[in-house]
Amino acid sequence: ENEYRQMVGSLLYLTATRPDIMFAASLLARFMHCPTKKHYGTAKRAGYIQGTIDFGIEYQKGKAAILIGYCDSDWSGSQDDMRSTS
């Protein structure tokens, strides 16, 4: 179980620079509390990432590129425990 957590933790760390693996990493993270052999196998298959270290995603600036951001700091209106639901 600890080995699985380490593998998934490494994948989650990599998502900062590899957004293409975000879905797989977050899906595997759902089973960190009780992984099965199938989950271990799936996490090990993610080792293909080592062979794609030189791959990347290139973003090009458009003519009218505008950056828009937002933040929801309401904490879901929960005054009792101040926990986010995301």
* pLDDT, tens only, 23-54: 889 989 999 888 999 989 988 888 777 777 77
Q: What share of the chain is helix, strand, coil (3-state, %, to 5)?
A: 50, 0, 50
Domain residue extents for the chain: 2-52
pTM of the model: 0.57
* pLDDT for res 83: 61
CA–CA separation, 86 vs 83, rounded Å?
9
For residues 2-30, give the mean pLDDT.
88
d(CA 58, CA 16): 15
Q: What is the pLDDT of residues 58-82, one digit of tens each?
A: 777 777 777 788 776 665 666 666 6
pLDDT (0 to 100) of residue 72? 66
